[in-house]
Structure 1
């Protein structure tokens, strides 16, 4: 009978459990991690096997290589305890309360499994009220997949996202990045225009000068003539800015001079790629022109 290699599923788990028991009884430990004046006995070989950070520390010529005690800066003792539990058990307990400390600590110590667990947890927590903050948090810690997931979420739920404080507190560049995006899902450009106006109104003195720059990313030609004349024309911020008035006039011209539309094609006349916007743009011209003529007739 030919020899056969047999793989068992319990060996690795059994070793981890044994090493964790040794750690907790401070048996065969050859290094102590000190965090916030609290000591954590551990085994160098286990730490080095799980973390490139510790591997470099214990195998290079760094001063910590042979020290019995190693001070770890930049994380709390409670976080260190969670991370060590992961190293020895392959299990990490992520919560709303600890994830903001746990993810940076995992990045610092290069514990990829904890970082992945934190990112998956945060992705499951995405909400219109927090997606912009999670996106920035992910970008800070180079969590590319989480950052992309948060960005897609903010695009998909744009009308709800702009109702929350995170949007209002964005700087001009961040607002611009969001509203110029083709992928935001809106039934019309109305929530985009209203988001810009509300952002400006939140801090009038500091933000009023930014309105013309931001308004150029609102696709006003795609709005109905009734909304342009009844809402945008009556907005004081618009009436007080020549640049804003020029953008409004462009939208009116797009509706009133159909023979010129081919010459006016550009970013402001391109439909968003959201689920309803394109069909509304393509199929709604009969209703749009009915509104135009009703408005013109009523003004005479």
Structure 2
């Protein structure tokens, strides 16, 4: 007969180890079986060698190898205060210790010396909780003295993320030149380039005699391409420190030549080129803003919405000061411009010349120099430091082909060469020194099948007929040298390849769509709102929010807007922090 299987019970006493340590601690407190004393400041603490050797590589080496302490019954530990040593011994026997700001540094030093790694990291965690923009630079120095990587990394992270606050602290003035250069050249620095410049000036003025000569090396770390031209040419260029350096003035002049040449290819000398093409810092990210338009088929909206692709949420910004019907919307230097439009809050509506601006940094609306001519239902597009306003309807509601240009450096408008053919609701985009105007409709509301091209540097227009073009009330967006014309009383989307001078058919929209908006966010095209013609040929307003991926030629839904909207603007603004000023 087979023997029955032998059952085995694997027992684990979960309290054994903790009870054993507890009993050892009682033996220590009663000085029973203790065989060594740790001494500091004439205070002796009796312990068990085997417990110390089991808890620390430091004591294991001391008691298990041929060191003289192996034979001694009293070990004097120099450089460790008796109170700190007593706390560490209590920790060894109980696993418990109280860390406060008064003892954390000597405790950390002793833990490092005696090789209690987990206690050392516990002290580091405590210091990390005390980090603030005011002390993070001091913590970095401390972490280097203590050789604590975890504290250094956390303090460095705070210094990078809170640089706007750190940059005005006294600790920053104590940084060495290589240390400051390390921050200013880091792609992850969370600061606007204007702040980077102000920081280096602040640092130099702390000790001008010895630091003045570093201005040119530090100035090279400022990414001039991402600075607002007004700030660069009116403030930075006139700074005495900058004027004292021939290299700095040459850099600014190179930027000035580039701006006035209206050519992105005229970068100038080779020394300037790597500085000009330096990428924006990682801390900058793009945010989509939707503004104005006709809301829920009711009155013109004053709302401004912001969509963050990371959080996938909409939030409300400060409302526009007035309602403007069929204004134009454009972004320049991360500032939103609302230009012209028909005022609807008075007894008699009238075309406006007003220009309102909004920055995410302040979340406040301001006005700049008004246009030369009042207009509405016009188009606006930005290029370098210019905004171009094209066509639209004038004060008498007549179609105009006039063009004017806003110079953001000087806050001035000037008239430019008019369009060869005045059109309403065309698709407009600017790239490679040219403005492209596709289609639209004439004064009799007939579609116009032409492409009008404006050469910015020459202030000249040309036009050509093209049967592919038949869009009205369709936005345009640029990705990788291709201009995408999205819908416009049709489901069709086409891309114009500016280099090959040809049209490419793309995936259709889900419905016939017009009076919608589009913008590029992280190389994808986001299309918001608009109107569409349903299966019964009835026009309906939309709250759709869709995304087109040019790489895969596919559309995906991104949810909805907070309300139905058309004739609005969608723009991409670059922001340096994860939040914006709340209204």
Scaled by the length of structure 1, the TM-score of the pair is 0.89
Could you say which residue in structure 1 is the equivalent of 2:235?
231
Whether contact under 8 Å (1:224, 1:288) holds in the other structure is no
Change (3 A) 1:28 1:200: same
Query: Any idea what SS the aligned residue of 2:409 has?
Result: helix
Matched, 1:266 2:238: no
- Following TM superposition, by how much is the alpha carbon of 1:213 offset from its aligned partner in structure 2, in angstroms? 1.4
Change (3 A) 1:44 1:161: same
Query: Any idea what SS the aligned residue of 1:245 has?
Result: helix
Could you say which residue in structure 2 is the equivalent of 1:213?
217
Deviates more, 1:243-252 or 1:123-132: 243-252
**Higher relative contact order, chain-length normalized (CA < 8 Å, sep 6+):** 1
Q: CA-to-partner distance for each residue in 1:114-173, whole Å, 9 max, x for gaps?
A: 111011112222210111222232233332233222222211111111121221111111
Matched, 1:289 2:385: yes
Which has a greater percent of helix? 1
Segments ≥4 residues shifted beyond 4 Å:
261-265
Change (3 A) 1:38 1:293: same
Whether contact under 8 Å (1:92, 1:117) holds in the other structure is no
Whether contact under 8 Å (1:158, 1:184) holds in the other structure is yes
Could you say which residue in structure 2 is the equivalent of 1:8?
13
- Following TM superposition, by how much is the alpha carbon of 1:55 offset from its aligned partner in structure 2, in angstroms? 0.4
Deviates more, 1:141-150 or 1:60-69: 141-150
- Following TM superposition, by how much is the alpha carbon of 1:198 offset from its aligned partner in structure 2, in angstroms? 0.3
Change (3 A) 1:201 1:59: same
Could you say which residue in structure 2 is the equivalent of 1:184?
189
- Following TM superposition, by how much is the alpha carbon of 1:40 offset from its aligned partner in structure 2, in angstroms? 1.4
Change (3 A) 1:279 1:212: farther
Could you say which residue in structure 2 is the equivalent of 1:108?
113
Q: What is the rounded CA distance, in whole Å, between the counterparts of 1:127 and 1:261 in structure 2? A: 44
- Following TM superposition, by how much is the alpha carbon of 1:266 offset from its aligned partner in structure 2, in angstroms? 2.9
Matched, 1:18 2:18: no
Q: What is the rounded CA distance, in whole Å, between the counterparts of 1:213 and 1:31 in structure 2? A: 60
Whether contact under 8 Å (2:385, 2:409) holds in the other structure is no
Whether contact under 8 Å (2:254, 2:267) holds in the other structure is no
- Following TM superposition, by how much is the alpha carbon of 1:267 offset from its aligned partner in structure 2, in angstroms? 5.1
Change (3 A) 1:145 1:254: farther
Query: Any idea what SS the aligned residue of 2:38 has?
Result: strand
Whether contact under 8 Å (1:225, 1:288) holds in the other structure is no
Q: How many corresponding residue pairs?
A: 295
Q: Which runs of 5+ in 1 are unaligned?
A: none
Which has a greater percent of strand? 2
Whether contact under 8 Å (1:221, 1:250) holds in the other structure is no
Change (3 A) 1:169 1:110: same
Q: What is the rounded CA distance, in whole Å, between the counterparts of 1:27 and 1:247 in structure 2? A: 78
- Following TM superposition, by how much is the alpha carbon of 1:251 offset from its aligned partner in structure 2, in angstroms? 3.4
Scaled by the length of structure 2, the TM-score of the pair is 0.48
Could you say which residue in structure 1 is the equivalent of 2:164?
159
Q: What is the rounded CA distance, in whole Å, between the counterparts of 1:176 and 1:270 in structure 2? A: 17
Q: What is the rounded CA distance, in whole Å, between the counterparts of 1:93 and 1:205 in structure 2? A: 47
Q: CA-to-partner distance for each residue in 1:261-280, whole Å, 9 max, x for gaps?
A: 6776535531000044x669
Q: CA-to-partner distance for each residue in 1:2-35, whole Å, 9 max, x for gaps?
A: 1212222211111111111222222211111111
